[in-house]
Structure 1
């Protein structure tokens, strides 16, 4: 009986040793697996973080490209600005979320879509830029042609104006044989020349209008200014409004001109206090234009 009980105890101890060995092996295996799983998980997390950083860099690169394109291109599509804003929002989302396989996969898909959209938009912008450059070149050419035509037109206008001025000057009345003299007007109407100031009562200005086929025929307004030795106006001081302002004359007369020579005499009243010994100046005008000057003397 003692021997049988002893054998049973031996078998039980042996079984316990085997079980303890199995448990020890299991614990060792579990420890190895745990360590391996931890290392693998840590490695996977590092890969995810690296992938997340790579995504952030790619998004930043896309934003820079959009910024450069928006700054350089005058012709902008609203789609480019909206695309840049979507990239910025996605970058903020990447930064705010912990990296995991599902998020990384989604972010990668969105980056792929954004890159495809960027390529399409940039092709559109390049096309518009090329069209604008072509248009600018065309406008430059048109502007150059317009400037040349304007220059020619200005030159022709100056030439025409010069010709018009010459024709205008040539068409004005011209006079010869201009002379001024003191006269006495008799009661009978007879006019007697006199160069003594004490006896003169009027100044007579006589001249001949030359024939001129370029002048317009018809009634002409003629004006005379007579200045005494003290440069005082002698006569009735007739004020006439011209385009350039008011002129004051000694006397005025109307004549009918038919493009042929015409002798004209105009009388200017002379008050006694204006008649002085010395040299007098005479100016004759056709309208506002001076057409002759002369001098005469009174004793």
Structure 2
């Protein structure tokens, strides 16, 4: 009987130990399972954290490239890039639990959407700038063409002005000088003897010119005898750096038609030899001739 009781107690102890062993095995299995799950969770969170950091870095790179193009939106782009940089710094220091990771993912998505909107605006601005640049280049071409055309016109106008100036100058022709003896009665007798001469008659023609300016025209007549003396008034006038000593002046009312001019130069003691007669329009010699007295 006693052996039977001992045997029963032994069975009970073995049963209890078996239950404890099974319980221990179950507990160990649960601990191992929980540890594996935790390790998997930590690995997943770390991977997702690195993925978000990479996405944020890509956002920053996109902003850096857009800012380098120096558009009118540069200030706004810089502000958004700074937000990305700040979020990256915060994410690097976080413990990386699921809740905080979800928060950073949400912030990243908002920043990404903002970036896409800004990039669309930047593209629109770039196209507008390209259009403006093309129009500006076209305008420059037109302005350069107009400038060249104007330079041609200026050159043509200058040439035309010179032509008109030359064409508008009056032509003096048929300059002739004759010597006379004037009697007390006023009768003039032609002579070529110096001793008998007491008056010279000088004639010339101003030719017709339709484009010349009409009005009073003054000419300076210079008569030089064989001894190189200027006869008559011997008055001197300056034209710029040049001076002219003349015998007399004659003023003609010119109306774009041919005008015959006749003037007299009285004198005495005319010398024998060759005389020179010059007609000046201001300081410019416009006609000359010579004659001789014996």
TM-score, structure 2 as length reference: 0.66
User: Aligned to 2:253, which of 257, 261, 285?
Assistant: 257
Preserved contact between residue 73 and residue 129 of structure 1 (Cα < 8 Å): no
CA distance in 2, matches of 1:107, 1:226: 112
Corresponding residue of 1:22: 19
Supply the RMSD in Å over aligned alpha carbons: 4.7
Counterpart mapping for 1:66-105 below 5 A: 66-72=63-69, 74-76=71-73, 78-105=75-102
Corresponding residue of 2:61: 64
Corresponding residue of 1:292: 286
CA distance in 2, matches of 1:225, 1:110: 105
Aligned CA distance change for structure 1 residues 17 and 219 (closer, same or farther; 3 Å): same
CA distance in 2, matches of 1:205, 1:45: 127
Aligned CA distance change for structure 1 residues 249 and 46 (closer, same or farther; 3 Å): farther
Preserved contact between residue 56 and residue 94 of structure 1 (Cα < 8 Å): yes
Unaligned stretches of 5+ residues in structure 2? 195-200, 225-229, 266-273
CA distance in 2, matches of 1:69, 1:283: 82
Preserved contact between residue 219 and residue 279 of structure 2 (Cα < 8 Å): no
| Alignment deviations for residues 225-277 of structure 1 (CA, whole Å, 9 cap, x no partner) | 999xxxxx99665334xxxx54433348462331333437799xxxxxxxxxx
Corresponding residue of 2:238: 239
Q: How many residues align?
A: 265
TM-score, structure 1 as length reference: 0.65
CA distance in 1, matches of 2:264, 2:42: 120
CA distance in 2, matches of 1:266, 1:154: 52
CA distance in 2, matches of 1:170, 1:40: 111
SS at match of 1:256: strand
Does structure 1 residue 138 correspond to structure 2 residue 135? yes
SS at match of 2:124: helix
Q: Measure how far apart 1:58 and its partner are.
A: 1.0
CA distance in 2, matches of 1:74, 1:38: 54
Corresponding residue of 2:198: none
Does structure 1 residue 172 correspond to structure 2 residue 169? yes
SS at match of 2:251: strand
CA distance in 2, matches of 1:62, 1:266: 105
User: Aligned to 1:114, which of 111, 116, 132?
Assistant: 111
| Alignment deviations for residues 151-174 of structure 1 (CA, whole Å, 9 cap, x no partner) | 444444443443333222211222
Preserved contact between residue 175 and residue 289 of structure 2 (Cα < 8 Å): no
Preserved contact between residue 207 and residue 265 of structure 1 (Cα < 8 Å): no
Aligned CA distance change for structure 1 residues 26 and 176 (closer, same or farther; 3 Å): same
Corresponding residue of 1:248: 243
Corresponding residue of 1:124: 121
Unaligned stretches of 5+ residues in structure 1? 197-203, 228-232, 268-277
